[in-house]
Amino acid sequence: MDLTENQKTFNLTPHDFGNDFAFGVSTAAYQIEGAYNTHDKSPSIWDHFSSKKRTIYNNQHGQIACDFYHTYKEDILLMKSMNIKNFRFSLSWSRIIPNGYGHVSIAGIDFYNRVINFCLEYGITPWITLYHWDLPQILQDKGGWTNRAILSWFENYVKVCATHFGDRVKNWMVLNEPMVFTGAGYFLGVHAPGSKGLKNFLPAIHHATLCQAAGGRVLRSMVVNANIGTTFSCSQITPFSNKPRDILAAKKADALLNRLFIEPILGMGYPMEHVPVLKRIQTYIKEEDLKNVLFDFDFIGVQNYTREVVKHNFFVPYLRAKIVKASSRRVKTSLMDWEIYPPSIYEMIKQFNQYKEVKRIIITENGAAFNDNLTHGEINDTERLNYLQSHLEQVYKAKKEGLNVEGYFVWTFTDNFEWAEGYRPRFGLVYTDFSTQNRIVKSSGKWYQDFLASN
């Protein structure tokens, strides 16, 4: 199916979603910036982690990535030409405060001021994520997210950001996907910092939950008219069969993957009833903590890519539940072996709408990686185009049914460094030639450009 045929079968326009619905793109500092040791920037945990052999695909790293540090003007102008009016990006803690706590880098502040000002000059609204996984290594050497001192480190970092950028930036996200950076980084060890086991995972969970609320309170007190959110990775969880043990396994997986960080901030506590091992987190809970994890966010960022099918497995410790790989189920998948299942995004909007305390939902990430082939200077990525359209249709379905959803951000603008997968998966609307830093707008990007212009 070519681009013309795709456009004929997709009849929605931005107007259908409402005048206040925000369309945009999302990125993250370590994945695009490069300039890993420019000026006084210190190493982050991802600089350190990717320097080790066999931790990243083909021993790749983000030292240069998309070189956004030097090409930000060209990229923002490209964004402008594609009618993209909302740009979600994160700040690098180690670029702003190289020692993690204390001295503030003038060069780091100046860089983000330039990015913010250039966005505003060209009519693009900045949406800032405070923490997108790149903790300063100097703080990890002190325990990172397992050290309760991170509460003061993080509050200080947020105050610095609010002080320097809060006069112009009104849209903020505190954390990006805490379940991923604690689970993959502090339990499984497949992401930075590479720590493993419950002794790391449980304190990291609790401290991240506390920081999530603490960051929100700092922003509320320091930024006038702030629109404050935080983001969660989530997937529709489906039991492998109707057997009671598979249904129970799915409930456990849902509690861990979808409920673990949202429910404490709403005053519901950790979902211990379905994940009993979480009772051990009480070791790290101090007086006033359950009050201090509460925060009334203006919006919740829902980040959805797929669904997961879960079955009982006795040999999986703590959960007795295991995700059944999409490739083994003979379903259509993306390059990441994630099932392409558009109804999942609708179901997650519906699930988060069930929390009456959630004011607004914004889809802050949705996208897919495929084998993009550069042919005669063009990338005809029909699979990605179909993916985005079919997911937008599900978002519209939710909106039309009266469910609370007020935005949609594509992951991602340019192909970038995809963590442990390196540069192999390409998620971008724009193709990046990492050897030349040349950018080529893909068919999906051209479609998004036309879609946004159709308003």
Task: Evaluate if residue 20 carries a pLDDT over 50.
Answer: yes
Read off the pLDDT band of 9 (50, 70, 90). confident
Read off the pLDDT band of 1 (50, 70, 90). very low
More confident call, 356 vs 3: 356
Provide the pLDDT for residue 146: 98
Find the catalytic residue in 308, 365, 383, 418. 365
Each as own residue / partner, the long-range contacts of residues 51-55 (CB below 8 Å, 24 or more positions apart, any chain) are 52/194, 55/194, 55/420
**244-259 tens-digit pLDDT:** 999 999 999 999 999 9
Provide the pLDDT for residue 253: 98
Provide the pLDDT for residue 7: 46
pTM, two decimal places = 0.97
Task: Evaluate if residue 265 carries a pLDDT over 70.
Answer: yes
Provide the pLDDT for residue 421: 98
The 10 Å CB-count burial string (b at 16+, else e) for 186-197 is bbebebbbbbee
Task: Evaluate if residue 6 carries a pLDDT over 60.
Answer: no
Instruction: Clarify whether 263 is annotated catalytic.
Output: no
Decide: 229 and 174 in contact? Cβ < 8 Å: yes
Residues 353-361, mean pLDDT to the nearest whole number:
98
d(CA 155, CA 151): 6
d(CA 215, CA 130): 9
Domains defined for the chain, CATH in brackets: 3-453 (3.20.20.80)
**Which tokens in the block code for residue 325?**
């790989």
**84-122 tens-digit pLDDT:** 999 999 999 999 999 999 999 999 999 999 999 999 999
Provide the pLDDT for residue 5: 43
Task: Evaluate if residue 29 carries a pLDDT over 90.
Answer: yes
Read off the pLDDT band of 2 (50, 70, 90). very low
d(CA 26, CA 22): 12
Task: Evaluate if residue 4 carries a pLDDT over 60.
Answer: no
Task: Evaluate if residue 312 carries a pLDDT over 80.
Answer: yes
Provide the pLDDT for residue 227: 98
Task: Evaluate if residue 3 carries a pLDDT over 70.
Answer: no
The 10 Å Cβ neighbour count of residue 13 is 12
- Residue-averaged pLDDT of the chain: 97
Read off the pLDDT band of 193 (50, 70, 90). very high
Find the catalytic residue in 177, 308, 383, 418. 177
Instruction: Clarify whether 418 is annotated catalytic.
Output: no
The 10 Å CB-count burial string (b at 16+, else e) for 336-368 is bebbbbbebbbbbbbbbbebeebebbbbbbbbb
d(CA 259, CA 232): 9
Provide the pLDDT for residue 455: 74
Task: Evaluate if residue 173 carries a pLDDT over 50.
Answer: yes
Task: Evaluate if residue 8 carries a pLDDT over 70.
Answer: no
CA-based radius of gyration for the chain: 21
Closest CA to 121 of 159, 90, 80, 164: 80
Residues 114-136, mean pLDDT to the nearest whole number:
98
Percentage of residues in the chain with pLDDT exceeding 90?
97
d(CA 356, CA 404): 11
